Amino acid sequence: AQRVTQPEKLLSVFKGAPVELKCNYSYSGSPELFWYVQYSRQRLQLLLRHISRESIKGFTADLNKGETSFHLKKPFAQEEDSAMYYCALSLSGGTSYGKLTFGQGTILTVHP
């Protein structure tokens, strides 16, 4: 069965500092990886997906199949980045595509 691990429950950085939120997964096939974000008093929403190779709000994430990791990075954190971040995995084929397995989440706090 697939599993997603986010080793840090809490992460604090100062504004302008680089930030990296860690995500490791276990799955024997080729998964699809995502980052979802929940800002204070808002709904959970998709931030980015690995196959898009986009930079969203300055965030990027690279899928490293050798290390089974999908860490989220931003070179200069902003106060508005403070939120709960979830790494999520989905199978890429069969009838289970779209079914997401989430990690436990990391609360990011960016201090002024």
Partner 1 sequence: DTGVSQNPRHKITKRGQNVTFRCDPISEHNRLYWYRQTLGQGPEFLTYFQNEAQLEKSRLLSDRFSAERPKGSFSTLEIQRTEQGDSAMYLCASSLGGWARAYEQYFGPGTRLTVT
CB of 55 to partner 1, least distance (A): 17
Residue numbers 56-85 binding partner 1 by CB under 8 A: none
| Member of 4, 61, 72, 77 binding partner 1 (CB under 8 A) | 4
Determine if 11 is a binding residue for partner 1 (CB under 8 A): no
3-class state of residue 94 by DSSP: helix
Q: Which of 65, 64, 48, 66 is nearest to 56 (CA)?
A: 48
Closest to partner 1 by CB, 60 or 101: 101
Hey, what are 35's tokens? 């980052």
Determine if 100 is a binding residue for partner 1 (CB under 8 A): yes
Determine if 98 is a binding residue for partner 1 (CB under 8 A): yes
With 0-12 CB in 10 A as exposed, 13-18 as middle and 19+ as buried, what is 59? buried
List of residues contacting partner 1 (CB under 8 A): 4, 9, 32, 34, 43-46, 49, 86, 88, 90, 92-93, 95-105
